[in-house]
Structure 1
Amino acid sequence: MSSKEKPTLGGTRIKTRKRNITTPLDPSTFADAVVQLYLDNAGDLELVAKSIESSELDFSRYGETFFEVIFIGGRTQPGTVKPDEGERHSFSILDCEPIREVILPYVLYIQKILRRRPFLIKSLENVMRKFLQSLELFEENDRKKLAIFTSLTFTQKLSGLQPETVFQPLLKDSLVAKGLSLSFMTDFFKEYLKDSSFDDLILILKKGKMEDNLLEFFPTAKRSPEGFSEHFNKEGLTALVEYNEKKMFEVKLKEMKSVLTTLIAEETDISEVIETVKQQAKESKFPDIEVVRMLWDVLMDAIQWSGKNQQQNVNSALRQVKAWAKLLNAFCTSGRLELELMYKIQIQCYEDAKLMKLFPEIVRSLYDQDVLAEDTILLWFRRGANPKGRQTFVKALEPFVNWLEEAEEEE
């Protein structure tokens, strides 16, 4: 039986993979083409936008060049912000007046372009970063224009523009040392607040991770809370000064709470705790009322609360009050401060379900430990101003108040 031989190929043809042939980058030609659109339309941004829309220019490759033309009227030299050779137009952002009403149309024009080509937002960020990092190369007027433009990009909510990415270059050492970063941010704040609320500005600062680091924009010699307040008060930005003072207060209060929590956990001698709190309160210039509120918060936070056992919670709270009554007494030095402590207890018992029934017990314990005076308790009972849970707590405290009044009559 003969076997058929399998046919074999006489030769093999090797296919070569097609190489991806890319056109060399030619930003100069692209820049000239965009400049020509401006010149053809005499700088009318509406007409320029329409011409760009119908053009076949490669924006995906030359996005940064496109924004350079918008900002300075032409292409910049590679790696710099200096104008390169080639055609230029005189309708750029840096050619106009440093007035928001004049610069706003440019922002709206860019917004229109980005809606059709959202991928260009990264190119805009890169060009803005490059210019801000080189502020020292611009004249004062041009720096002002950049600050106005930057503020308008955020008030107009250009989609995808990241505050952290834009502002990071301003922390460059040379810009900070020369005061250029502070000057830019001051102009930015003032311009931004002309269109938007202070809360919106804080949101921008938070997104840019700058809300706690604004002092970093100050030259070293002026980098202090006093320098901060002096500068921004002078510039009419008092809301920013108040916000910063509040933030600093919160930071110091958090530090003080942390120290006190550690002292309580370590069962430090109460006289040492009192001296430590007094010293920190003096250094941080804390109001007496804030110290009293803070003491109560820390003492209650240190308790190991039971989830369901109400009596156990009562016992824990009363033990804590008794153990640290001397600390509370050292700072409740007036009827006003005692009343503030009662309000603090009232609010906490109202807001925390497990403490709702503890209010009369705690008040009585504080009375027994000489932290709260009889007059303070009666004043709260008769004319207390805080409405949170007041009716419930007044009713719960009524038997104790009756006892106080009867004892007073007997005396």
Structure 2
Amino acid sequence: MSSKEKPTLGGTRIKTRKRNIAAPLDPAAFSDAVVQIYLDNAGDLELVAKSVESSDLNFSRYGDIFFEVVFIGGRTQPGTVKPDEGERHPYSVIDCEPKREAILPSVVYIQKILRRRPSLIKNLENVTRRFLQSLELFEENERKKLAIFTALAFSQKLSGLPPETVFQPLLKDNLVAKGIVLTFVTDFFKEYLVENSLEDLISILRRGKMEDNLVDFLPPVRRSAESFAEHFTNEGLPDLVEYHAKKMLEVKLKEIKTVLTSKVTEESSVDEVIETVKQLVKDAKLPEIEVVRVIWDGLMDAVQWSGKNQQQNANSVLRQVKAWAPLLNTFCSSGKLELELMYKIQMQCYEDAKLMKVFPEVVRSLYELDVLAEDTILHWFRKGTNSKGRQTFVKSLEPFVNWLEEAEEEE
């Protein structure tokens, strides 16, 4: 068997590729060049923006340094906020007056830069996070300027600053413990609310995962609803205090409902559940009306709905009412609270189609179990103020009310 020679590339010259030679890093030269642009234009940010746009500087490599120059006038030493050797300019955010009219031009300037160079958005986020994590290294007056800048950045919808970038880095234990974070967010809130609503602020806090944890901004030794209310009331933010109080109430009520539903589902004894709810209510200092509402919600959440027909659903509700009447009776300790329970039942039956026809049966059962008094039922029937489904429910309850009135006349 003959063997064939392997083919060769005769007369062909194979070129060796040159290696890509990486340009040496020179952050100092980049920083000095940006600073010179500021100096050449005497800090006129409109002219600075045009010069930056037309320059051939390597922003893709030195984006972080660019924003260091914007915020503090020059390059910082690695791992710090202290100026490094090199040129500096006096037109930075830190060098401004701590007033919105002085700092707003810097926000507008950054907006223009980011529109032309969107790749710098991540660099702005990096530098902002680093500076916020190092707030203790800034002077008090400088921290206020950063707070105003950040508030204006959100107010002007500056891209590159997602809320979590601002709020999450602030939660460093040492910064919170020293009260630095509380002062920062107070300045931030006050500045942001100058031109924006509380709802807008709450939306930012929600996206920053801080909506339910505002007290975390307070030092641990002051971390309470009372201290929160005192501080922000003194700072002229009563609407924020009111919102926080409502939010904390919702959290506490949700906790009680979850515990209650769990214990009912687990078939704990009525006495055990009553004591558990009493303790939770005492610890949370909850309004009695809210407690009545959440108890009803908790009981209904624990109902095993069959969903087959109206009567089966009605039977499920009535079994739950009969089993837990002592719990309802414990917390419906006045005519006002009994009336509130009726309104709560009315609303649920109105909002849940499968319970529309259950209302009169539930009311009658609660009357027979001594949870609702006759006077309460008659007051609701004659003078009830909740209009949701009222006409339908009044008509369905009329035979029972007539029976009550006839019995009262006989007596």
Shift of 1:193: 1.0
Aligned-partner SS, 2:357: helix
> What is the CA–CA distance in structure 2 between the aligned matches of 1:9 and 1:389, rounded to whole Å?
92
1:44 aligns with 2:44: yes
How many residue pairs match? The answer is 410
Aligned to 2:83: 83
Aligned to 1:124: 124
| Aligned partners of 1:30 and 1:62 also within 8 Å | yes
Q: How does 1:330-409 map to 2 (within 5 A)?
A: 330-409=330-409
Aligned to 2:255: 255
Aligned to 1:161: 161
| Aligned partners of 2:128 and 2:165 also within 8 Å | no
Aligned-partner SS, 2:31: helix
Shift of 1:225: 2.5
Letter in 2 for 1:198: L
1:5/1:256 Cα in 2 relative to 1: closer, same or farther (>3 Å)? Answer: closer
Once structures 1 and 2 are overlaid, which stretch shifts more, 9-18 or 301-310? 9-18
Aligned to 1:297: 297
Deviation per residue, 1:339-386 (Å, 9 max, x gap):
111100100000000000111111111111121111111111111100
Shift of 1:9: 4.1
> What is the CA–CA distance in structure 2 between the aligned matches of 1:209 and 1:89, rounded to whole Å?
37
| Aligned partners of 2:262 and 2:302 also within 8 Å | no
Once structures 1 and 2 are overlaid, which stretch shifts more, 204-213 or 260-269? 260-269
Please, which runs of 5 or more residues in structure 1 have no aligned partner?
none
Scaled by the length of structure 1, the TM-score of the pair is 0.94
Deviation per residue, 1:125-166 (Å, 9 max, x gap):
111122222222221111111110011111111124212123
Once structures 1 and 2 are overlaid, which stretch shifts more, 336-345 or 170-179? 170-179
| Aligned partners of 1:212 and 1:247 also within 8 Å | yes
> What is the CA–CA distance in structure 1 between the aligned matches of 2:299 and 2:135, rounded to whole Å?
52
Shift of 1:11: 6.7
Shift of 1:79: 2.7
Q: How does 1:33-182 map to 2 (within 5 A)?
A: 33-182=33-182
Q: How does 1:263-342 map to 2 (within 5 A)?
A: 263-342=263-342
Aligned-partner SS, 1:93: coil
1:4/1:320 Cα in 2 relative to 1: closer, same or farther (>3 Å)? Answer: closer
Aligned-partner SS, 2:358: helix
| Aligned partners of 2:30 and 2:57 also within 8 Å | yes
1:12/1:366 Cα in 2 relative to 1: closer, same or farther (>3 Å)? Answer: same
Scaled by the length of structure 2, the TM-score of the pair is 0.94
> What is the CA–CA distance in structure 2 between the aligned matches of 1:343 and 1:269, rounded to whole Å?
27
Q: How does 1:216-231 map to 2 (within 5 A)?
A: 216-231=216-231
1:126/1:404 Cα in 2 relative to 1: closer, same or farther (>3 Å)? Answer: same
Letter in 2 for 1:383: K
1:265/1:63 Cα in 2 relative to 1: closer, same or farther (>3 Å)? Answer: same
Once structures 1 and 2 are overlaid, which stretch shifts more, 242-251 or 348-357? 242-251
Letter in 2 for 1:261: T
Shift of 1:404: 1.6
Q: Cα RMSD (Å) of the superposition?
A: 2.1
> What is the CA–CA distance in structure 2 between the aligned matches of 1:159 and 1:235, rounded to whole Å?
29
| Aligned partners of 1:129 and 1:167 also within 8 Å | no
> What is the CA–CA distance in structure 2 between the aligned matches of 1:396 and 1:217, rounded to whole Å?
52
Shift of 1:253: 1.7
| Aligned partners of 1:31 and 1:75 also within 8 Å | yes
Please, which runs of 5 or more residues in structure 2 have no aligned partner?
none
Aligned-partner SS, 1:61: helix
> What is the CA–CA distance in structure 2 between the aligned matches of 1:208 and 1:122, rounded to whole Å?
17
> What is the CA–CA distance in structure 1 between the aligned matches of 2:270 and 2:8, rounded to whole Å?
100
Shift of 1:5: 8.5
> What is the CA–CA distance in structure 2 between the aligned matches of 1:306 and 1:9, rounded to whole Å?
82
> What is the CA–CA distance in structure 1 between the aligned matches of 2:276 and 2:258, rounded to whole Å?
12
> What is the CA–CA distance in structure 1 between the aligned matches of 2:146 and 2:333, rounded to whole Å?
55
> What is the CA–CA distance in structure 2 between the aligned matches of 1:87 and 1:23, rounded to whole Å?
22
Shift of 1:189: 1.1
Aligned-partner SS, 1:227: helix
| Aligned partners of 2:67 and 2:123 also within 8 Å | yes
Once structures 1 and 2 are overlaid, which stretch shifts more, 234-243 or 64-73? 234-243
> What is the CA–CA distance in structure 2 between the aligned matches of 1:303 and 1:168, rounded to whole Å?
40
| Aligned partners of 1:328 and 1:371 also within 8 Å | yes
> What is the CA–CA distance in structure 2 between the aligned matches of 1:7 and 1:25, rounded to whole Å?
47
Once structures 1 and 2 are overlaid, which stretch shifts more, 124-133 or 257-266? 257-266
> What is the CA–CA distance in structure 2 between the aligned matches of 1:70 and 1:28, rounded to whole Å?
15
Shift of 1:186: 1.2
Letter in 2 for 1:18: K
Shift of 1:97: 0.5
Once structures 1 and 2 are overlaid, which stretch shifts more, 79-88 or 376-385? 79-88
| Aligned partners of 2:132 and 2:170 also within 8 Å | yes
Letter in 1 for 2:402: N
Deviation per residue, 1:29-77 (Å, 9 max, x gap):
2222212221221111111111122222221111111111111222222
> What is the CA–CA distance in structure 1 between the aligned matches of 2:219 and 2:135, rounded to whole Å?
15
| Aligned partners of 1:135 and 1:175 also within 8 Å | yes
> What is the CA–CA distance in structure 2 between the aligned matches of 1:11 and 1:333, rounded to whole Å?
106
Aligned to 1:29: 29
Once structures 1 and 2 are overlaid, which stretch shifts more, 42-51 or 81-90? 81-90
> What is the CA–CA distance in structure 2 between the aligned matches of 1:403 and 1:11, rounded to whole Å?
116
1:79/1:295 Cα in 2 relative to 1: closer, same or farther (>3 Å)? Answer: closer
Deviation per residue, 1:240-260 (Å, 9 max, x gap):
222222222222222222222
| Aligned partners of 2:349 and 2:355 also within 8 Å | yes
| Aligned partners of 2:125 and 2:160 also within 8 Å | no
